Structure 1
Amino acid sequence: AKDSVLTIATGILKSLAPTGLGELDIFGDVFFERIAEVGRDIRLTPQRASALGFGSEGAPLWLRTLAATYETTRRLAESYSPAEIEVQINQAAWTKTVNAVARQVGEEMLGSDQGAAFAQQYQAVLPNQPDLWPLLSKTLHPGA
Protein backbone atom coordinates (compact mmCIF):
# COMPACT_ATOMS: atom_id res chain seq x y z
CA ALA A 1 0.00 0.00 0.00
CA LYS A 2 2.85 2.38 0.86
CA ASP A 3 4.41 2.00 -2.60
CA SER A 4 1.06 2.62 -4.29
CA VAL A 5 0.46 5.76 -2.23
CA LEU A 6 3.95 7.06 -3.02
CA THR A 7 3.45 6.33 -6.73
CA ILE A 8 0.13 8.20 -6.78
CA ALA A 9 1.55 11.10 -4.75
CA THR A 10 4.51 11.36 -7.14
CA GLY A 11 2.16 11.55 -10.11
CA ILE A 12 0.09 14.26 -8.42
CA LEU A 13 3.13 16.31 -7.39
CA LYS A 14 4.54 16.19 -10.93
CA SER A 15 1.57 18.31 -11.92
CA LEU A 16 0.71 20.32 -8.80
CA ALA A 17 4.08 20.99 -7.17
CA PRO A 18 7.05 19.46 -9.00
CA THR A 19 9.50 21.22 -6.70
CA GLY A 20 8.28 18.94 -3.90
CA LEU A 21 9.35 15.72 -5.63
CA GLY A 22 12.82 15.80 -4.07
CA GLU A 23 11.38 16.14 -0.57
CA LEU A 24 8.92 13.33 -1.25
CA ASP A 25 11.79 11.06 -2.29
CA ILE A 26 13.77 11.96 0.82
CA PHE A 27 11.00 12.07 3.42
CA GLY A 28 8.31 9.72 2.08
CA ASP A 29 9.47 6.81 4.22
CA VAL A 30 9.66 9.07 7.29
CA PHE A 31 6.00 10.01 6.77
CA PHE A 32 4.95 6.36 6.92
CA GLU A 33 7.14 5.70 9.97
CA ARG A 34 5.52 8.63 11.77
CA ILE A 35 2.02 7.50 10.78
CA ALA A 36 2.79 4.12 12.31
CA GLU A 37 3.87 5.89 15.52
CA VAL A 38 1.05 8.42 15.90
CA GLY A 39 -1.86 6.53 14.39
CA ARG A 40 -4.10 7.20 11.45
CA ASP A 41 -5.16 10.74 12.34
CA ILE A 42 -3.13 12.54 9.73
CA ARG A 43 -4.87 15.89 9.57
CA LEU A 44 -1.87 18.16 9.32
CA THR A 45 -2.61 20.97 11.71
CA PRO A 46 0.56 22.84 12.77
CA GLN A 47 0.56 20.78 15.97
CA ARG A 48 0.19 17.49 14.09
CA ALA A 49 2.86 18.47 11.54
CA SER A 50 5.18 19.24 14.44
CA ALA A 51 4.37 15.90 16.14
CA LEU A 52 5.13 14.13 12.87
CA GLY A 53 8.50 15.89 12.84
CA PHE A 54 7.85 18.20 9.89
CA GLY A 55 8.13 21.57 11.63
CA SER A 56 5.73 23.81 13.50
CA GLU A 57 5.09 26.30 10.69
CA GLY A 58 2.57 24.02 9.08
CA ALA A 59 3.14 21.31 6.57
CA PRO A 60 4.60 22.06 3.14
CA LEU A 61 2.46 21.36 0.06
CA TRP A 62 4.32 18.16 -0.85
CA LEU A 63 3.59 16.75 2.61
CA ARG A 64 -0.05 17.80 2.58
CA THR A 65 -0.35 16.21 -0.87
CA LEU A 66 1.19 12.97 0.41
CA ALA A 67 -1.13 13.00 3.43
CA ALA A 68 -4.17 13.66 1.22
CA THR A 69 -3.12 10.83 -1.10
CA TYR A 70 -2.70 8.47 1.85
CA GLU A 71 -6.04 9.44 3.36
CA THR A 72 -7.95 9.23 0.06
CA THR A 73 -6.50 5.82 -0.68
CA ARG A 74 -7.17 4.58 2.86
CA ARG A 75 -10.79 5.77 2.87
CA LEU A 76 -11.53 4.18 -0.48
CA ALA A 77 -9.82 0.88 0.30
CA GLU A 78 -11.44 0.58 3.73
CA SER A 79 -14.90 1.68 2.63
CA TYR A 80 -15.43 -0.75 -0.23
CA SER A 81 -15.00 -4.51 -0.41
CA PRO A 82 -13.31 -6.07 -3.45
CA ALA A 83 -16.74 -7.14 -4.73
CA GLU A 84 -18.18 -3.63 -4.34
CA ILE A 85 -15.20 -2.14 -6.15
CA GLU A 86 -15.58 -4.66 -8.97
CA VAL A 87 -19.28 -3.84 -9.37
CA GLN A 88 -18.55 -0.11 -9.44
CA ILE A 89 -15.74 -0.56 -11.96
CA ASN A 90 -18.00 -2.67 -14.19
CA GLN A 91 -20.77 -0.06 -13.99
CA ALA A 92 -18.32 2.79 -14.63
CA ALA A 93 -19.25 4.30 -11.25
CA TRP A 94 -15.86 3.88 -9.57
CA THR A 95 -14.46 6.99 -11.25
CA LYS A 96 -17.20 9.13 -9.69
CA THR A 97 -16.69 7.52 -6.29
CA VAL A 98 -12.94 8.09 -6.39
CA ASN A 99 -13.39 11.67 -7.53
CA ALA A 100 -15.88 12.44 -4.75
CA VAL A 101 -13.65 11.03 -2.02
CA ALA A 102 -10.50 12.65 -3.44
CA ARG A 103 -12.25 16.02 -3.66
CA GLN A 104 -13.54 15.77 -0.08
CA VAL A 105 -10.14 14.80 1.31
CA GLY A 106 -8.35 17.32 -0.90
CA GLU A 107 -10.56 20.15 0.33
CA GLU A 108 -10.09 19.05 3.96
CA MET A 109 -6.30 18.90 3.69
CA LEU A 110 -5.38 21.32 0.92
CA GLY A 111 -8.21 23.86 0.80
CA SER A 112 -10.97 24.26 -1.75
CA ASP A 113 -8.88 25.50 -4.69
CA GLN A 114 -6.09 22.97 -4.34
CA GLY A 115 -8.57 20.27 -3.31
CA ALA A 116 -10.27 20.32 -6.70
CA ALA A 117 -6.92 20.17 -8.50
CA PHE A 118 -5.82 17.35 -6.20
CA ALA A 119 -8.96 15.32 -7.02
CA GLN A 120 -8.43 15.84 -10.74
CA GLN A 121 -4.79 14.73 -10.55
CA TYR A 122 -5.57 11.78 -8.25
CA GLN A 123 -8.06 10.60 -10.84
CA ALA A 124 -5.58 11.14 -13.69
CA VAL A 125 -2.93 8.94 -12.04
CA LEU A 126 -5.28 5.99 -11.47
CA PRO A 127 -5.29 4.55 -15.01
CA ASN A 128 -1.64 3.70 -14.36
CA GLN A 129 -2.67 1.67 -11.28
CA PRO A 130 -5.26 -0.81 -12.68
CA ASP A 131 -4.86 -3.48 -9.98
CA LEU A 132 -4.52 -1.09 -7.04
CA TRP A 133 -8.08 -1.11 -5.70
CA PRO A 134 -8.82 -4.82 -5.64
CA LEU A 135 -5.41 -5.46 -4.05
CA LEU A 136 -5.76 -2.79 -1.36
CA SER A 137 -9.32 -3.75 -0.60
CA LYS A 138 -8.43 -7.45 -0.30
CA THR A 139 -5.65 -6.51 2.11
CA LEU A 140 -8.13 -4.60 4.29
CA HIS A 141 -11.01 -7.07 3.83
CA PRO A 142 -9.47 -10.53 4.23
CA GLY A 143 -11.75 -13.30 3.07
CA ALA A 144 -13.97 -10.93 1.10
Structure 2
Amino acid sequence: MSIVTEVAAASSAEALAHFSETLRFETDCWDTNNALSEGKADFVLLDVRSPESYAKGHVPGAINLLRGKIIASKLASYPADTLFVTYCAGPHCNGAARAAIKLAQLGRPVKIMVGGITGWLDEGFKLTTEIAELA
Protein backbone atom coordinates (compact mmCIF):
# COMPACT_ATOMS: atom_id res chain seq x y z
CA MET A 1 0.00 0.00 0.00
CA SER A 2 1.34 3.44 -0.93
CA ILE A 3 0.85 6.72 0.84
CA VAL A 4 -1.50 7.58 -2.05
CA THR A 5 -3.88 4.70 -1.30
CA GLU A 6 -3.41 4.73 2.48
CA VAL A 7 -6.55 6.85 2.70
CA ALA A 8 -9.28 5.43 0.51
CA ALA A 9 -10.52 7.56 -2.38
CA ALA A 10 -13.97 9.04 -2.15
CA SER A 11 -16.78 7.30 -3.94
CA SER A 12 -17.46 8.41 -7.51
CA ALA A 13 -20.63 10.18 -6.35
CA GLU A 14 -18.72 12.06 -3.64
CA ALA A 15 -15.93 12.95 -6.09
CA LEU A 16 -18.48 14.21 -8.62
CA ALA A 17 -20.14 16.41 -6.01
CA HIS A 18 -16.83 17.74 -4.70
CA PHE A 19 -15.21 18.57 -8.04
CA SER A 20 -18.42 20.02 -9.44
CA GLU A 21 -18.71 22.23 -6.39
CA THR A 22 -15.16 23.61 -6.76
CA LEU A 23 -16.08 25.08 -10.15
CA ARG A 24 -18.67 27.27 -8.41
CA PHE A 25 -15.81 28.91 -6.49
CA GLU A 26 -12.96 29.04 -8.98
CA THR A 27 -12.01 29.35 -12.59
CA ASP A 28 -8.62 28.96 -14.21
CA CYS A 29 -6.33 31.07 -16.35
CA TRP A 30 -7.20 29.27 -19.58
CA ASP A 31 -10.97 29.75 -19.18
CA THR A 32 -10.48 33.39 -18.17
CA ASN A 33 -8.23 34.05 -21.16
CA ASN A 34 -10.70 32.33 -23.48
CA ALA A 35 -13.59 34.49 -22.27
CA LEU A 36 -11.52 37.68 -22.53
CA SER A 37 -10.11 36.80 -25.97
CA GLU A 38 -13.50 35.95 -27.43
CA GLY A 39 -15.18 39.08 -26.04
CA LYS A 40 -17.33 36.98 -23.70
CA ALA A 41 -16.13 38.43 -20.41
CA ASP A 42 -19.35 38.37 -18.41
CA PHE A 43 -17.42 39.12 -15.23
CA VAL A 44 -15.17 41.80 -13.78
CA LEU A 45 -11.57 40.68 -13.32
CA LEU A 46 -9.88 42.12 -10.23
CA ASP A 47 -6.13 42.14 -9.75
CA VAL A 48 -5.76 42.50 -6.00
CA ARG A 49 -1.96 42.86 -5.97
CA SER A 50 -0.22 46.12 -5.13
CA PRO A 51 -0.51 49.03 -7.55
CA GLU A 52 3.24 48.69 -8.19
CA SER A 53 2.91 45.02 -9.18
CA TYR A 54 -0.16 45.79 -11.29
CA ALA A 55 1.74 48.57 -13.11
CA LYS A 56 4.60 46.18 -13.97
CA GLY A 57 2.17 43.82 -15.74
CA HIS A 58 -1.30 42.36 -15.28
CA VAL A 59 -3.93 40.34 -17.09
CA PRO A 60 -5.38 42.44 -19.93
CA GLY A 61 -8.66 44.02 -18.83
CA ALA A 62 -8.04 43.45 -15.12
CA ILE A 63 -8.85 46.25 -12.71
CA ASN A 64 -6.50 46.86 -9.80
CA LEU A 65 -8.38 46.97 -6.51
CA LEU A 66 -6.68 46.15 -3.23
CA ARG A 67 -8.65 44.07 -0.75
CA GLY A 68 -8.76 46.95 1.72
CA LYS A 69 -10.36 49.15 -0.92
CA ILE A 70 -13.11 46.68 -1.79
CA ILE A 71 -16.08 48.55 -0.35
CA ALA A 72 -19.71 48.82 -1.38
CA SER A 73 -19.39 52.35 -2.75
CA LYS A 74 -16.57 51.30 -5.14
CA LEU A 75 -18.79 48.54 -6.53
CA ALA A 76 -22.03 50.51 -6.63
CA SER A 77 -21.90 51.08 -10.40
CA TYR A 78 -22.06 47.32 -11.02
CA PRO A 79 -25.36 45.42 -10.91
CA ALA A 80 -25.77 43.26 -7.80
CA ASP A 81 -25.42 40.06 -9.83
CA THR A 82 -22.08 41.03 -11.41
CA LEU A 83 -19.56 38.22 -11.02
CA PHE A 84 -16.16 39.34 -9.79
CA VAL A 85 -13.11 37.14 -10.44
CA THR A 86 -10.11 37.82 -8.23
CA TYR A 87 -6.47 36.94 -8.70
CA CYS A 88 -3.14 37.73 -7.10
CA ALA A 89 0.48 36.69 -7.61
CA GLY A 90 -0.08 32.95 -7.70
CA PRO A 91 -0.62 29.81 -5.68
CA HIS A 92 1.74 31.07 -2.98
CA CYS A 93 -0.48 34.13 -2.39
CA ASN A 94 -3.78 34.21 -0.50
CA GLY A 95 -4.75 37.71 -1.61
CA ALA A 96 -7.31 36.42 -4.10
CA ALA A 97 -9.04 34.40 -1.38
CA ARG A 98 -9.00 37.34 1.02
CA ALA A 99 -10.51 39.60 -1.65
CA ALA A 100 -13.11 36.93 -2.46
CA ILE A 101 -14.10 36.83 1.20
CA LYS A 102 -14.51 40.61 1.22
CA LEU A 103 -16.67 40.51 -1.93
CA ALA A 104 -18.80 37.71 -0.49
CA GLN A 105 -19.25 39.71 2.72
CA LEU A 106 -20.60 42.51 0.53
CA GLY A 107 -23.09 40.08 -1.01
CA ARG A 108 -21.30 39.95 -4.38
CA PRO A 109 -20.91 36.81 -6.52
CA VAL A 110 -17.23 35.90 -6.69
CA LYS A 111 -14.77 33.33 -7.99
CA ILE A 112 -10.99 33.07 -7.78
CA MET A 113 -8.78 32.65 -10.84
CA VAL A 114 -6.51 29.90 -9.56
CA GLY A 115 -2.88 30.25 -10.49
CA GLY A 116 -2.91 34.05 -10.54
CA ILE A 117 -0.14 35.77 -12.48
CA THR A 118 2.10 32.72 -12.14
CA GLY A 119 -0.52 30.49 -13.75
CA TRP A 120 -1.25 33.07 -16.43
CA LEU A 121 2.40 33.20 -17.46
CA ASP A 122 2.75 29.41 -17.19
CA GLU A 123 -0.04 29.11 -19.78
CA GLY A 124 1.99 31.35 -22.11
CA PHE A 125 -0.41 34.28 -21.92
CA LYS A 126 0.88 37.85 -22.11
CA LEU A 127 0.58 40.60 -19.54
CA THR A 128 -0.17 44.24 -20.26
CA THR A 129 0.64 47.52 -18.58
CA GLU A 130 -2.48 49.24 -19.94
CA ILE A 131 -4.55 50.53 -17.02
CA ALA A 132 -8.21 49.47 -16.68
CA GLU A 133 -10.53 51.46 -14.41
CA LEU A 134 -13.59 50.58 -12.38
CA ALA A 135 -16.83 51.32 -14.21
The higher radius of gyration belongs to 2
Q: TM-score, normalised by structure 2?
A: 0.32
Q: TM-score, normalised by structure 1?
A: 0.30
If each structure's strand is expressed as a fraction of its own residues, which one has the higher value?
2
If each structure's helix is expressed as a fraction of its own residues, which one has the higher value?
1
